[in-house]
Amino acid sequence: MNDKFAQNEQVIAVVGLGQLGRGIAACCLARGFAVVGVDREQKNRDLFRKFLPEAVAHCLEAGVIESGDAGEWQDRLELSEDLAPTSRACLVIESIAEDMPAKKQLLREIEAVVDEGVLIGSNTSAFPISDLQEGCKYPERVFGMHWSSHGHVTRFLELTPGEQTSAQTMACAKEIAERLGKEPAVLKKDIAGFLCNRIAYAMYREAVHLLESGVADAEAIESSFRNSVGLWAPMCGPLRLIDVMGGGAFYAESIKGVLPTLASSTELQDTLESFIDQNAKGPKNNIGFFDYEEDDAEKWAERFTAAILSTKKYQDQHIPCDSPASAKKTVMVP
């Protein structure tokens, strides 16, 4: 056993090293934590090692860190195919695929390995945390920890309590999130979809409704949204926008007139149902709202990365919430 991974507040375990899990683990490394990365698939562990130089480059470009290299990160990383090394962590982040039975089973397996005082965060984008807590021995230490893609550079993180999550757990989760350079959105109660996805799903439903109703084509809907919401979203959310761009009275009058015409169906729309049947993956298989060329998936991935990095730098300049990790601020591993 490597002594530097002794159980203490400087070790975080990430279980599941898919795309999201790799970003989570890289974020922890960027902030000086020692990381135990667990994945049953050798290919995912190998992909994470290959990802480290790219992650370091992203963090340097976005100003997440002032200095660092993949070799130094490797010194604080242990990869495993089983859960045994997670016993040395102060926090275990579950980040496997969105499968409720599989997540609940994994939480029970983690509890069988770690001590009672170890926090367990579930990286889910939609499942109620109260449901995930069912069957846990110590449900009070289980909470929702919703990350976004490129988790090593974004400021996004939603923290959600289940019905049995303790106030102390949420306080500790917020503290850790801030140490990870996040601007955590802390929910007061559990709700399916949390904050960003509930707002986004309402937006997606209306966009598809406008398309199916023949109001506009996909290109018009795309450009209208990108050139309006895309301009202010990095700076403020919808509630702040109402305040600073006219005030609640002005917006309330406008909303009141349009509200009855907005999509409100609780059934999935025909277009989205057809996407399930076709296994639509957008540019990956050229099934979606737009047509794509063979290499468009890679091009769009590059565009997303560039947008995320530039947005992070803009936010840090105009609405700072954190300072770059440096040698002086890095948590040293014993």
The predicted pLDDT at position 327 comes to 40
**What was the pLDDT predicted at 2?**
41
Cα dihedral across residues 55, 59, 64, 70: positive or negative: positive
C-alpha–C-alpha distance, residues 118 and 114, integer Å = 6
CA 146 to the chain's CA centroid? 5
Confidence (pLDDT) at 221: 98
Residue 143 sits in the same domain as residue 208: no
Distance CA 34, CA 61 (A): 22
Q: Nearest 5°: phi and psi at 14?
A: -120, 120
Say what the pLDDT of residue 326 is. Answer: 58
pTM to 2 decimal places = 0.92
- Find the CATH number of the domain harbouring 29: 3.40.50.720
Does residue 333 lie in a domain region? no
Question: What phi, psi does 206 have (nearest 5°)?
Answer: -65, -40
State the total domains in the chain. 2
pLDDT tens-place values along the chain, 334 residues long: 344 444 567 999 999 999 999 999 999 999 999 999 999 999 999 999 999 999 999 999 999 999 989 999 999 999 999 999 999 999 999 999 999 999 999 999 999 999 999 999 999 998 999 999 999 999 999 999 999 999 999 999 999 999 999 999 999 999 999 999 999 999 999 999 999 999 999 999 999 999 999 999 999 999 999 999 999 999 999 999 999 999 999 999 999 999 999 999 999 999 999 999 999 999 999 999 999 999 999 999 999 999 999 999 999 999 999 888 854 344 433 3
Contacts of 212 (CB under 8 A, 6+ apart): 269, 270, 271
CB 185 within 8 A of CB 158: yes
136: left (phi over 0), alpha (psi -120 to 50) or beta: beta
Q: Is the residue at 283 inside a domain?
A: yes
Q: Report the alpha-carbon distance of residue 248 to residue 59 in Å, rounded.
A: 38
DSSP state of 89: -
Same domain, 268 and 287: yes
Q: What is the CATH number of the domain that holds 253?
A: 1.10.1040.10
Q: Does 220 map to a domain?
A: yes
Q: Give the strands of the sheet with 142-146, arranged side by side.
A: 77-80, 34-38, 11-15, 91-94, 119-122, 142-146, 158-161, 185-186
How many angstroms separate the CA atoms of 190 and 121, rounded? 14
Residue 132: φ, ψ to 5°: -70, -25
First to last CA, the chain: 14
Residues 93, 201 within the same domain: no
pLDDT of residue 123: 98
Q: What range does the domain containing 156 cover?
A: 3-186
Residue 90 per-residue DSSP state: S
